[in-house]
Amino acid sequence: MRSPHIRPAYSSWPVIDQALRDVVAELTPAQLAIQPTPERWPLWATIGHLACQRVSWLCGFLGEPGAETTPFPDALYSCPGDEDLEHVLDAAQLMAALASTFAIVERVLDTWTMDMLDEVVRRTFGTDEWVHTRGFVIQRVFAHDISHITEVNEILGRAGLRQVDLWP
């Protein structure tokens, strides 16, 4: 019998998230401070941004519960990198951020059905109206994770450090 939930469509995501956490756990403060170019964020900010954007889109935009269980209760307006480069996150804080934000992803994977993906959500932020389907949002969050993990891998590879294995 097929699952009515969307988890099967994203079966690799939990494995990839765990691989990211495994690599982050090994990083020193100096390694997390690596900034590939003056225009780009330090590694810690890229990883923190990845975690925060999960909350921004799933909780802030879609209204899913759980933002208060993460370090980013106001993720729509304050995320590492985007708005905050002052509060440096260490490996333990990043691990906690990844775990708490992925718990929201896990709940979505287990509760959303395929039929829910066509639901249109409208939100107004200031004078801008955003209109997206749930399917767009979950695809965006997954693609955003992969995009930034690839960026993390670029930084780690140039530094001669272990990379996140996206294809275990």
Other residues' Cβ atoms within 10 Å of the Cβ of residue 57: 21
Is 165 within the bounds of a domain? no
Token digits for 121?
A: 């959500």
Q: What is the mean pLDDT of residues 106-127?
A: 95
Q: State the DSSP code for 131.
A: E
Would residue 163 count as lying in a domain?
A: no
pLDDT of residue 137: 98
pTM value is: 0.94
Inform me whether the pLDDT recorded for 3 exceeds 70: no
Is 168 domain-assigned? no
Q: pLDDT band for position 4 (50/70/90)?
A: confident
CATH code of the domain containing 124: 1.20.120.450
Strand partners, 125: 128
For residues 137 and 123, is the Cβ–Cβ distance under 8 A? no
Question: Which of these, 32, 21, 87, lies nearest to 71 by C-alpha position?
Answer: 87
The residue among 106, 110, 85 whose CA lies nearest residue 32 is: 85
Domain membership of residue 94 (yes or no) is yes
How confident is the model over 120-130, as pLDDT tens digits?
Answer: 999 998 899 99
How many structural domains does the chain have? 1
Buried b / exposed e along 93-110 (16+ C-beta atoms within 10 A): bbbebbebbbebbeebbe
73: domain range?
7-158
